[in-house]
Amino acid sequence: MLGFMVLSGVNHSIYRSGRALVLGPPLIEVRSPRPAQLYAPGSLPVVVSFPAFDRIAPGTFRCLLNGTDVTHQLTLGTHGAAGSVFPLREGENSLRVEVYARGLWLAQFFEDAVDIPFRVRGGLMLDRT
């Protein structure tokens, strides 16, 4: 029943308070981008590692940029994923990384996710007179 509650989001507070008990240490480590950092316009370098790669189901990895699935823009390996994602928008942006993994004590799979808010500075405005 706990697996259903975690996966369906029915009781998010139980998930957050019991996360370490069910999943153990973080399953996703986002090395780039850094939260709340300012980035240049263009593409965003993304580097994600799976510290507990032996419990990860790599085929379930997803990367969302501002709600749009950009997983296909990354190269996925056993120990993580890397690449550049686009398009970025000026101002506030968010990157969400998700993956399913086996729990520490249960054979069930649980979702783990990391949300990274970041900002993109405005493009260069040239005066054309």
pLDDT at 119 over 60: yes
User: Would you say the pTM of this structure is higher than 0.85?
Assistant: no
pLDDT band at 82 (very low <50, low <70, confident <90, very high): very high
Q: What is the pLDDT of residue 129?
A: 56
Q: Of 14 and 64, which is predicted with more confidence?
A: 64
| CATH number of the domain enclosing 53 | 2.60.40.10
Residue 126 lies in a domain: no
Residue 108 lies in a domain: yes
pLDDT band at 108 (very low <50, low <70, confident <90, very high): confident
Residue 70 lies in a domain: yes
Residue 12 lies in a domain: no
Q: What is the pLDDT of residue 100?
A: 94
The four Cα atoms 89, 92, 93, 98 give a dihedral, to 10 degrees, of -170
* Domain count along the chain: 1
pLDDT at 13 over 90: no
Distance of alpha carbon 2 from alpha carbon 15, whole angstroms: 9
Burial state string for 18-56 with b = 16 or more CB within 10 A and e = fewer than 16: eeeebbbeebbebebbeeeeebeeeebebebbbebeebb
Q: What is the pLDDT of residue 25?
A: 81
pLDDT band at 120 (very low <50, low <70, confident <90, very high): very high
Range of the domain at 107: 25-120
Percentage of the chain modeled with pLDDT above 90? 64
Residue 17 lies in a domain: no
In sequence order, what E strands does the chain have?
Answer: 29-32, 38-39, 44-49, 56-65, 68-69, 74-77, 80-85, 91-102, 109-120
Residue 8 lies in a domain: no
